[in-house]
Structure 1
Amino acid sequence: MNGIALDIPRITRIRLHAVEDVVLSLALGAMVVVPVVEILLRGFFRLGIANAAAIVQHLVLVVGMLGAMVAARESRLLAFSGLQKLIPGPLGSWAGRFASAIALSVAGCLTVASYGFVASEQGGDNILAYGVPVWAVQVIMPVGFAIIAVRVAWNSAATFAGRIAVAALAMAFAASFALMGQGLATTLGLSLILLAAMLGAPMFIVLGGAALVLFAGDGLPIAAVPLSHYQLTINPSLPAIPLFTLAGYFLAEGGAPLRLIRLFRALFGSIRGGAALVTVLLTAFFTSFTGASGVTILALGGLLIPLLTGVRYPHRRALGLITSAPALGTLVPPALPLILYAIIARQPIETMFLAGIVPAAVMTLLLIGWGIWNGPNDVPREPFDFAEVRSALLDAKWEIALPPLAFISLLSGWVTPVETAALTAAYAFIVECVIYRDLKLTVDVARVMAECGLLIGGIILILGMALGFTNYVTDAQIPERATEWVSATIGSRWVFLVALNVLLLLVGMLMDIFSAIIVVTPLIAPIGVAFGIDPIHLGIIFLANMELGFLTPPVGMNLFFASYRFGEPLSEVVRSVLPGLAVLGGGVLLITYVPSLSTWLPALLR
């Protein structure tokens, strides 16, 4: 009887988690349905949904917070580092608890700050749609941050006593800051947050905590941080990011990888290095939709390693190619970094899509060339079989039609970028769940959408906190001072580009691409203008360098994903990617010093 009683909380948690996943899936599904219905009503009946765009934007807030809550539940909030794992024995355990205490303290402060923000909004008469006040949706922020704080505390230790110790340490930190003078509190707060970042604190905690400390240190209301998070989520273009990501998840979890591998093998299997070509094209394609090259490694790695080793491709070179190639999707439309950079740099999304095509093609060709050159020479080639090509093409015709659908919709001017993303997600859902039936409606769809929502939630939470930090930096006029200093110190545009590449490579090693775009773009954009660099060209330089950051030892994220997926030591993965890193580095230099690669196509089609 006692065993049953003790098991009830666990069963209850499982049920609550299932409900949480379903609600997240429904909110993400509503983001698809509302724009699609709006398009149909507008096209056939000259009608529309009241404030449809605002509804979708606020659904981003809901999906982001719910996804972050799920990520915290599963201990999958993205972190800068995990150095505490390298600290042996009890000291390593306490290092992790220290990072958790800082995270708990920051999450608690964000709860209080977001509650104050929502309370200030309740006095207004802002209506979202159909009589629903805006504050009724904003309340998800204090609730979400509170639940994240509880889950951070729960996951901080395996025992109840350990969790109490972490909570007590977090309260001690908060009380210390309240009692200190502003200058000392700011210095100590930033130092502790930096240490927590090195010990594995989540990225949103580091960025949000730094923003909270800086705002409080200047005597400004800390509600400015959740306000920044809210402003980011209701950006008119931001919903395109979760919607394109959802489309990529449907493709990756369905049968699309197998069908596309079959098609590419039929097309290119008869040429030398056909397996390498298939690997590069397929992984870049999937990353362009999922927005996460690590997800591509996890989803496709198990299929592509046998493909390469089956044609006697050396295992180390196969490992390096599969680890390197997904990063190319960063520049392939409709890549999410292209969308986010367009939002932050205030450039048209369509222009950034066009600007990425030629640079992406250049770097793809370089990596394909390297893959073919390093492949075996004495492997019998598959004879070209037109019947197999035709059969494979017919089998994969629905997936092949997806990129043209997205481009035609976007460039037609008939639908907005967000509506294009919604159409793409709806199309991917229909293809994988209705036409091919690779995903079961009652079993797989909710799981895939919850997994996608988890990734989206973690990213959006980071973006919101990064914007809070960036807003402080902007208010402090740091970009203007940086522009003056760089202009006075560096006299040559070409020298500046060299320094920019070095800086961005370091940023790519230390930050994820999404937070880097929000934090770094406002700093370098005015400097680029001062040196006469086209903002579009600057954006492509930025994103191309981020590709290298995914692969740069010792902290490139793709290295860890590959090590986990293939069960290889990190040192072996590092050795495998060094040649690909050198090839892509040459591509970055080419993109940097030949601006027309980025600007030619947008100028041609203006």
Structure 2
Amino acid sequence: MPSPAEHGLPGERPAPTFAARVENAVSIGLLVGMALLPILEIVGRRVWRTGIPGSSSLVQHATLWIGLLGGAIAARDDRLLSIGHLVDRFREPYRRSLSAFVAAVSAAVSLLLAGSGLQLVRAEWRDTHFIVPFLPLWVAEGVIPAGFALIAWRLVRRAHGGVWTRAAGAIGAIAGVAFASSNLILGGVPFAAAVVTLLLAVVLGAPLFVALGGLAVLFFRHEDVPLAAISAEIYRIVTSPTLPTIPLFGFAGYVLTMGNVSRRLVRFFRAIVGWMPGGIAVVTVLVCTFFTTFTGASGVTIVALGGILLPALLVERYPERFSLGLLTSSGSLGLLFPPCLPVILYAVVAGIAVDQMFLGGFLPGILLSLIMAGWAVRGGVQAGARRSSFSWKELGAAAWEAKWDLLLPVIVLVGIFGGIATAVEAAAMTVLYAIGAEVFIHRDAGFRRLLSEAGTETSRLVGGFLLLLAAATGLTGYMVDAGVPQAVFEWVRSTIDSRFTFLLILNVFLLLVGAFMHIFSAIVIVVPIIAPLAVAFGVHPVHLGIIFLANLELGFLMPPVGMNLFMSAYRFEKPFGEVCRAVLPFLLLLLGGVLAITYIPWLTTALLQK
């Protein structure tokens, strides 16, 4: 079973070293700067009729820095996403040998990506451009080779077995770099052997970015294409204008997680619907939806709210299996609402306006939440669950206590759709608002502790995900150059002649993708392939995006490797098979909702027509 660290969840760690504290401080400073600059931009437009020159470019390049630095922090803390640590199941001395092998392959790929970045920096050095006066572009790009080199060092240092294992890993990494850099890789047999070696390392526990980045390196080398093309693609996607919203909204989500927002929301929603049949179950659906919308991570929702909501459900006489299934399934709700991170990433990759994706996901998100709430009511009636009497006094007190938390979605929606701020500026407003509410109003945490813990957690999350994005972008660039999307396009057009059939096959395919692939990786790898197909079959681009995200949301619950299943088993200390059985009815219900979203385009496009 994956550990909490593998999914970016807080755990107990030793006291940080001086170097770690410096890295954390730099990453927090970058996040704070990314939040302040857009606010100053808004003020400048209102007061001086002009913004701050170069502020948008600075924020975009800060995203590149927070991505690579955060990736190094995630590697330092063993928080890079992998499919599992299979190597830990072997006995000594095999465990040490396999650990050295995994470290060698992982570090070799990281060093090759660092070399790719160095080629890009050298090219920019010869033809200097400036981000803002006195800040050359090559300085900003320098974080790519530096970040991957640091990651390589840390992947070797974390190898199990002591100094000899690490030495073997380092030697193996150097040998791997030499092999991949030589002309031997151009041959068929050495190339195939390199691919098998890479995939074996990933199965044993190498981070997922190693698989994606390694395949990109091998394919480019096999075609004798300069590796600088990979870093050029990484730079292009990570510095895109909308991507800074991801670290900013992620920062706001972790600020909320550290406070008592979950307790306040539970009290508020219970005051509204606690009188209904299945009241506390409906509260579970609503709170999980609200929470996931801002954290962007359903696993975090399960861990953060499980300790509050599962005992509450059991006390109200709900069966344990029903309660377990409801909490596990509700953890993925909220992924279609603004400002959830996967919606933003999809918009970036597909080239769609973020506000259009937010509008398109609103009604489908409500549909899925209503389906879950309706089943929760039915469960409450069957269980004979207790209900609390409605009280205007309690509702008023709960609303007053949670008023600052409930205003957060209003800030995002009014800021973006009211024309007051861009998506990045709305994200910055959300960060400052969340910090102000938690520190100065609710006083749940001190300012320094809040920035330190929430900022570091955000850096780990964003770094781990942006490494996946960066590596997948390089692989996607190769597939586009090799004509893979076009080949798939031609095959589908010649095989499928019905829009209905195409959508059905798309649903099955995306459910499998969602079960086996992290949502961020899936967006970057799969979207460039299916987007042209959908256009050919007359599917609206926003509708395709919502179909995509809704299916991947459901993939979190798909056995055998749906992430929410593992997280629930970990959080509630239940056997994995028991969690799967508990989730099955909810999985079938949500599947019906996903099919409705797929075959009723109006649910997605209705608000777009306004």
1:355 corresponds to which of 360, 366, 369: 360
Name the aligned partner's letter for residue 45 of structure 1: W
Aligned to 2:535: 529
- Verify the 8 A CA contact 2:472 2:524 in the aligned structure 1: yes
SS state at 1:188 partner: helix
Tell which deviates more after alignment, 519-528 or 44-53.
Answer: 44-53
- Verify the 8 A CA contact 2:302 2:327 in the aligned structure 1: yes
Map 1:561-572 to 2 at 5 A. 561-572=567-578
Name the aligned partner's letter for residue 27 of structure 1: L
Instruction: Output the CA distance in 1 between the equivalents of 2:386 and 2:309.
Output: 19
Name the aligned partner's letter for residue 572 of structure 2: F
Question: Relative to structure 1, is the Cα distance of residues 379 and 560 closer, same or farther in structure 2, using a 3 angstrom cutoff?
Answer: closer
Please report how far the alpha carbon of residue 394 of structure 1 lies from its aligned counterpart in structure 2 after TM superposition.
0.6
- Verify the 8 A CA contact 1:331 1:356 in the aligned structure 2: yes
Map 1:44-55 to 2 at 5 A. 44-55=47-58
Please report how far the alpha carbon of residue 417 of structure 1 lies from its aligned counterpart in structure 2 after TM superposition.
1.1
Instruction: Output the CA distance in 2 between the equivalents of 1:131 and 1:485.
Output: 51
Identity %: 43
Question: Relative to structure 1, is the Cα distance of residues 263 and 433 closer, same or farther in structure 2, using a 3 angstrom cutoff?
Answer: same
Please report how far the alpha carbon of residue 354 of structure 1 lies from its aligned counterpart in structure 2 after TM superposition.
0.7
Instruction: Output the CA distance in 2 between the equivalents of 1:529 and 1:46.
Output: 41
Aligned to 1:399: 405
Question: Relative to structure 1, is the Cα distance of residues 12 and 113 closer, same or farther in structure 2, using a 3 angstrom cutoff?
Answer: farther
Aligned to 1:4: none
SS state at 1:350 partner: helix
Map 1:6-405 to 2 at 5 A. 14-87=17-90, 90-177=93-180, 178=182, 180-182=184-186, 183-375=188-380, 376-405=382-411
Q: Does 2:451 align with 1:445?
A: yes
SS state at 2:443 partner: coil
Aligned to 2:587: 581
Instruction: Output the CA distance in 1 between the equivalents of 2:550 and 2:144.
Output: 34
Please report how far the alpha carbon of residue 26 of structure 1 lies from its aligned counterpart in structure 2 after TM superposition.
0.7
Question: Relative to structure 1, is the Cα distance of residues 176 and 234 closer, same or farther in structure 2, using a 3 angstrom cutoff?
Answer: closer
RMSD over aligned CA atoms reads: 1.8
- The C-alpha deviation readout for 1:248-269, integer Å capped at 9, x for no partner, is 1111111211111110111111
Name the aligned partner's letter for residue 305 of structure 2: L
Please report how far the alpha carbon of residue 181 of structure 1 lies from its aligned counterpart in structure 2 after TM superposition.
4.5
Aligned to 1:473: 479
Name the aligned partner's letter for residue 67 of structure 2: G
Instruction: Output the CA distance in 1 between the equivalents of 2:185 and 2:156.
Output: 28
Question: Relative to structure 1, is the Cα distance of residues 81 and 491 closer, same or farther in structure 2, using a 3 angstrom cutoff?
Answer: farther
- The C-alpha deviation readout for 1:501-522, integer Å capped at 9, x for no partner, is 1111111112111111111011
Aligned to 2:462: 456
Please report how far the alpha carbon of residue 85 of structure 1 lies from its aligned counterpart in structure 2 after TM superposition.
4.3
Instruction: Output the CA distance in 2 between the equivalents of 1:520 and 1:186.
Output: 24
Instruction: Output the CA distance in 1 between the equivalents of 2:276 and 2:433.
Output: 33
Please report how far the alpha carbon of residue 48 of structure 1 lies from its aligned counterpart in structure 2 after TM superposition.
2.4
- The C-alpha deviation readout for 1:300-346, integer Å capped at 9, x for no partner, is 11111122112122222212211111212211122111111111111
Tell which deviates more after alignment, 174-183 or 291-300.
Answer: 174-183
Tell which deviates more after alignment, 180-189 or 420-429.
Answer: 180-189
Question: Relative to structure 1, is the Cα distance of residues 547 and 88 closer, same or farther in structure 2, using a 3 angstrom cutoff?
Answer: farther
Question: Relative to structure 1, is the Cα distance of residues 223 and 80 closer, same or farther in structure 2, using a 3 angstrom cutoff?
Answer: farther
- Verify the 8 A CA contact 1:439 1:445 in the aligned structure 2: no
Instruction: Output the CA distance in 1 between the equivalents of 2:141 and 2:286.
Output: 41
- Verify the 8 A CA contact 2:120 2:231 in the aligned structure 1: yes
- Verify the 8 A CA contact 1:63 1:457 in the aligned structure 2: yes
1:547 corresponds to which of 542, 553, 577: 553
SS state at 1:145 partner: helix
Map 1:479-494 to 2 at 5 A. 479-494=485-500
Instruction: Output the CA distance in 2 between the equivalents of 1:253 and 1:522.
Output: 36
Please report how far the alpha carbon of residue 37 of structure 1 lies from its aligned counterpart in structure 2 after TM superposition.
1.0
Q: 4+ residue stretches of structure 1 with deviation over 6 A?
A: 10-13
- The C-alpha deviation readout for 1:269-309, integer Å capped at 9, x for no partner, is 11111111111111111111111111111221111112211
Please report how far the alpha carbon of residue 81 of structure 1 lies from its aligned counterpart in structure 2 after TM superposition.
3.7
Question: Relative to structure 1, is the Cα distance of residues 325 and 531 closer, same or farther in structure 2, using a 3 angstrom cutoff?
Answer: same
- Verify the 8 A CA contact 1:70 1:454 in the aligned structure 2: yes
- Verify the 8 A CA contact 1:272 1:377 in the aligned structure 2: no
- Verify the 8 A CA contact 2:317 2:384 in the aligned structure 1: no
For normalisation by structure 2, the TM-score amounts to: 0.94
Name the aligned partner's letter for residue 361 of structure 2: G
Aligned to 2:8: none
Instruction: Output the CA distance in 2 between the equivalents of 1:75 and 1:395.
Output: 38
1:598 corresponds to which of 571, 592, 604: 604
For normalisation by structure 1, the TM-score amounts to: 0.95
Aligned to 1:7: none
Name the aligned partner's letter for residue 17 of structure 2: I
SS state at 1:128 partner: strand
SS state at 2:332 partner: helix
Question: Relative to structure 1, is the Cα distance of residues 92 and 29 closer, same or farther in structure 2, using a 3 angstrom cutoff?
Answer: same
Q: How many residues align?
A: 595
- The C-alpha deviation readout for 1:91-147, integer Å capped at 9, x for no partner, is 455444332221111011112111121121112231112411121122111111111
Please report how far the alpha carbon of residue 11 of structure 1 lies from its aligned counterpart in structure 2 after TM superposition.
11
- Verify the 8 A CA contact 1:185 1:217 in the aligned structure 2: no
Instruction: Output the CA distance in 2 between the equivalents of 1:81 and 1:492.
Output: 39
Instruction: Output the CA distance in 2 between the equivalents of 1:34 and 1:233.
Output: 18
Question: Relative to structure 1, is the Cα distance of residues 176 and 123 closer, same or farther in structure 2, using a 3 angstrom cutoff?
Answer: closer
Instruction: Output the CA distance in 2 between the equivalents of 1:327 and 1:379.
Output: 24
Structure 1 gap ranges (5+):
1-9
